[in-house]
Amino acid sequence: MDYRYSCLPNGLKIVTVPMEHRNSVGIAIWVRVGSRYEAKRISGISHFLEHMVFKGTKKRTTRQIKEEIEGVGGLLNAFTGEEATCYYAKLPAARGMQALDVLADMVNDATLKPDEFKRERPVVLEEIKMYKDQPSHYVHEMMGELLWHKQPLGRPIAGTLASVAAMSRLDMQAYKKKYYVPGNCMVIAAGAVDHRDMLRACAEHFTHSGHGEDRVFPQAVERQNKPQTSFFEKETEQVHFVVATHALSRYHPDWYAQAVLNMLLGGNMSSRLFEEVREQRGLAYDIRSSVSGYEDTGAFTISAGVETGKTEKALQVILKELAKIIKKEVPNDELARAKEYLVSQLEMTLEDTMEYALWVGERALYGGHLPQPEGIKANIMAVSAADVRRVSQDMFKTKKLNLTLIGPVKEKVQQRLKRSLEI
């Protein structure tokens, strides 16, 4: 790709991605801070701050922020992760600079007014309660705590009821002042965009200084030397469970082999787990696998929702499939289909200006380089059956297995599940 990159004297990084024959511009402002940066006392503050940034600036009310984007047919949203927070908007090309103006105003000059802070806190608390009422979501939070016990990475991104209830507006002002500085931000614009115009506009909007800090979160520690389990007995219509292991960081040389492994096991409806657990045995409606990559670690997860009486059988089938992929290399035709699916998904994702801006930002903010689609495709296609087997053998070991579960499963069944957690 013909990327254009600039860095202002105050440290703000700007990347433009010109995309021919597009009539829109996708703009994202990435801030290098997320839940891993938080002390336990203020757990959830990155996410709470993301909410507050939408609640008004020195120039705009909450309503004006939304109307200036959505009122002209645009898209406006944000998300908070473990290592970054992102604010993004998509507008017709003629209004691209309007999107930047609104986003920069939010990131730089959100007022965090006391009355808005007081009004938004209950909203965040209700969001936390909502997640706890959704077993398919909460079981993943339980897994994070199991994988990274008493570490920031293992805490829920939204925080806890206690931490959010206790944090103050002063805490949030100090947190924003520390991290929402130009040197800790990156602006990505993709589509019908001119780099010089974007550079000029960013220089006008980001006039303050601040270079941010180098990595300030503690490195993840993987202490596991035996299988671990966590059960939440609750009356639900289904049992929701997750099987997971520690996995590779986003920078690991075997990242692409891990991605192919994920696709083979549970990445789509052609995957082994979908075929065996759902199609052949009818044990689950939803069965899937996924990978999460961070700066220094990762997670490989398999999740399912099953009828209570089928929990043990479903777990047995999943573990059997892990054993199969360890013992025998995948056939060439199956491997080729998985790699082609990954490459095609990447190509289709990058047709959209907003998706492209998010894709570039996610990789450039920490990676220190701008991703090239052709290079990524080549890395995917270079993965061999031997690579997949080697990665699976290192990852899927009995001592590395973890199981979290929510549902009406009694103690006797829990004990049997613990004993069966073996490859």
> Per-residue pLDDT tens for 346-380?
999 999 999 999 999 988 887 767 889 999 999 99
What domains does the chain contain, in order, with CATH numbers?
4-205 (3.30.830.10), 228-420 (3.30.830.10)
pLDDT above 90 covers a percentage of the chain that reads 93
Band (254; pLDDT cuts 50, 70, 90)? very high
Tell me the pLDDT tens digit for each residue of 170-185: 999 999 999 999 999 9
Q: Angle 135-147/114-132 helices, nearest 10 degrees?
A: 90
Arithmetic mean of pLDDT, 91-103:
95
Q: Angle 62-70/96-109 helices, nearest 10 degrees?
A: 160
Inform me whether the pLDDT recorded for 132 exceeds 70.
Answer: yes
Spatial strand order of the sheet with 13-18 comes to 4-7, 13-18, 185-191, 24-31, 85-92, 75-80
Distance (Å, whole) CA 189 – CA 6: 12
Band (213; pLDDT cuts 50, 70, 90)? low
Arithmetic mean of pLDDT, 114-136:
97
At 309 the pLDDT is 94
Q: Residues in the chain, how many?
A: 423
Which of these, 242, 254, 260, 249, lies nearest to 292 by C-alpha position? 249
Q: Report yes or no: 373 and 1 within 8 Å, Cβ to Cβ.
A: yes
Arithmetic mean of pLDDT, 267-295:
96
Band (215; pLDDT cuts 50, 70, 90)? low
Inform me whether the pLDDT recorded for 210 exceeds 90.
Answer: no
Arithmetic mean of pLDDT, 316-335:
98
Query: Helices marked H in 23-181 — which ranges?
Result: 45-53, 62-70, 96-109, 114-132, 135-147, 161-166, 169-179
Residue, of 213 and 250, whose pLDDT is higher? 250
Arithmetic mean of pLDDT, 383-406:
98
Q: Report yes or no: 267 and 345 within 8 Å, Cβ to Cβ.
A: no
At 412 the pLDDT is 95
At 70 the pLDDT is 96
At 223 the pLDDT is 85
At 2 the pLDDT is 85
Q: pTM score, two decimals?
A: 0.95
Distance (Å, whole) CA 311 – CA 108: 50
Inform me whether the pLDDT recorded for 106 exceeds 70.
Answer: yes
At 255 the pLDDT is 97
At 366 the pLDDT is 79
Arithmetic mean of pLDDT, 215-240:
92
At 212 the pLDDT is 59
Arithmetic mean of pLDDT, 155-176:
97
CA distance readout (Å), 130 to 96, 99, 123, 126, 218? 35, 31, 10, 6, 29
Check residue 290 and report its DSSP letter: E
Active site residues: 50
Distance (Å, whole) CA 302 – CA 304: 7
Band (214; pLDDT cuts 50, 70, 90)? low
Band (415; pLDDT cuts 50, 70, 90)? very high
What's the one-letter identity of residue 189? A
Q: Report yes or no: 186 and 9 within 8 Å, Cβ to Cβ.
A: no
Inform me whether the pLDDT recorded for 331 exceeds 80.
Answer: yes
Q: Report yes or no: 179 and 31 within 8 Å, Cβ to Cβ.
A: yes
pLDDT above 70 covers a percentage of the chain that reads 98
DSSP code string of 403-418: EEEEES--HHHHHHHH
